[in-house]
Amino acid sequence: WRAGAVAAVDLGATSGRVIVGHVDQAAGRLELDHVARFPNGPVRMASGLHWDLTGLYRDLARGLADAFRREPGVASIGVDSWAVDYGLLRGERLLGEPFHYRDARNEAAVESVHATVPFAELYRRNGLQFLPFNTVYQLAAERAGGWLDLADSLLLVPDLIGFQLTGTRVAERTNASTTGLVEVATGEWDDELIARLGLPASVFAPLVDPGTSLGALRTDVATDLGAPAGIDVVAVGSHDTASAVVAVPMRAESAAYISCGTWGLVGVELEQPVTTDAAREANFTNEGGVDGRVRFLHNVMGLWLLSESVRWWERDGERVELPGLLAAAASVTGEVAVFDANDPRFLAPGDLPGRIAEWCVEHDVPVPQSRAEFARSIVESLAEAFAGAVRTASVLSGVDVETIHVVGGGALNELLCQRTADRAGIPVLAGPVEATAIGNVLVQARAQGFVDGDLEAMRALVASAFAPRRYAPTTR
Catalytic residues: 240
d(CA 465, CA 30): 6
Q: What are the residues whose beta carbons fall under 8 Å from the beta carbon of 333, sequence distance 6 or more?
A: none
83 contributes a contact to ligand LFR by CB under 6 A: yes
What is the smallest separation between the CB atom of 382 and ligand LFR, expressed in angstroms? 15
d(CA 419, CA 332): 13
Output the CA–CA distances (angstroms, integers) from residue 163 to 6, 83, 154, 428, in the order listed.
Answer: 19, 17, 11, 39
d(CA 437, CA 244): 7
* Nearest CA-CA partner of 228 in 82, 409, 438, 74: 74
- Of 9, 74, 84, 378, the one binding ligand LFR by CB under 6 A: 84
377 contributes a contact to ligand LFR by CB under 6 A: no
Start-to-end C-alpha separation, the chain: 50
Pair type for strands 153-156 and 294-300: unpaired
Report the residue number, 14 or 112, with the smaller CB distance to ligand LFR.
Answer: 14
Report the residue number, 75 or 244, with the smaller CB distance to ligand LFR.
Answer: 244
Per-residue mark of binding to ligand LFR, 36-75 (x: CB under 6 A): ----------------------------------------
Region from 58-66, 208-216, 256-264, 366-374 binding ligand LFR, contact rule CB under 6 A: 256-264
Report the residue number, 172 or 232, with the smaller CB distance to ligand LFR.
Answer: 172
d(CA 210, CA 30): 20
263 contributes a contact to ligand LFR by CB under 6 A: yes
Region from 80-88, 197-205, 321-329, 385-393 binding ligand LFR, contact rule CB under 6 A: 80-88
What is the smallest separation between the CB atom of 256 and ligand LFR, expressed in angstroms? 16
- Binding to ligand LFR, residues 190-249 (CB under 6 A): 239-241
86 contributes a contact to ligand LFR by CB under 6 A: no
Residues 283/130, Cβ–Cβ less than 8 Å: yes
What is the smallest separation between the CB atom of 13 and ligand LFR, expressed in angstroms? 6
469: left (phi over 0), alpha (psi -120 to 50) or beta: beta
Region from 23-31, 58-66, 258-266, 467-475 binding ligand LFR, contact rule CB under 6 A: 258-266
Report the residue number, 83 or 160, with the smaller CB distance to ligand LFR.
Answer: 83
Report the residue number, 83 or 176, with the smaller CB distance to ligand LFR.
Answer: 83
Report the residue number, 82 or 346, with the smaller CB distance to ligand LFR.
Answer: 82
Output the CA–CA distances (angstroms, integers) from residue 220 to 20, 46, 56, 216, 465, in the order listed.
Answer: 22, 34, 19, 11, 37
Instruction: Provide the CA 26 distance to its chain's centre, in angstroms.
Output: 30
82 contributes a contact to ligand LFR by CB under 6 A: yes
135 contributes a contact to ligand LFR by CB under 6 A: no
Beta bridge partners of 5: 22, 74
Pair type for strands 264-270 and 285-288: unpaired
What is the smallest separation between the CB atom of 241 and ligand LFR, expressed in angstroms? 4
Region from 62-70, 77-85, 112-120, 437-445 binding ligand LFR, contact rule CB under 6 A: 77-85
Burial class (CB in 10 A: 0-12, 13-18, 19+), 394: middle
* Nearest CA-CA partner of 99 in 128, 158, 142: 142
106 contributes a contact to ligand LFR by CB under 6 A: no
What is the smallest separation between the CB atom of 287 and ligand LFR, expressed in angstroms? 7
Give how many residues touch ligand LFR by CB under 6 A.
Answer: 14
265 contributes a contact to ligand LFR by CB under 6 A: yes
Region from 158-166, 257-265, 322-330, 449-457 binding ligand LFR, contact rule CB under 6 A: 257-265
What is the smallest separation between the CB atom of 293 and ligand LFR, expressed in angstroms? 15
Output the CA–CA distances (angstroms, integers) from residue 229 to 115, 225, 429, in the order listed.
Answer: 51, 10, 42
148-151 long-range Cβ contacts below 8 angstroms, 24+ apart: 148/88, 148/199, 148/200, 148/203, 150/88, 150/90, 150/95, 151/88, 151/89, 151/90, 151/95, 151/203
Output the CA–CA distances (angstroms, integers) from residue 208 to 160, 175, 294, 366, in the order listed.
Answer: 14, 10, 16, 51
- Binding to ligand LFR, residues 12-31 (CB under 6 A): 12-13
308 contributes a contact to ligand LFR by CB under 6 A: no
Region from 58-66, 185-193, 260-268, 415-423 binding ligand LFR, contact rule CB under 6 A: 260-268
262 contributes a contact to ligand LFR by CB under 6 A: yes
299 contributes a contact to ligand LFR by CB under 6 A: yes
Report the residue number, 175 or 309, with the smaller CB distance to ligand LFR.
Answer: 175
Report the residue number, 101 or 374, with the smaller CB distance to ligand LFR.
Answer: 101
101 contributes a contact to ligand LFR by CB under 6 A: yes
Binding site for ligand LFR (CB under 6 A): 12-13, 82-84, 101, 239-241, 261-263, 265, 299
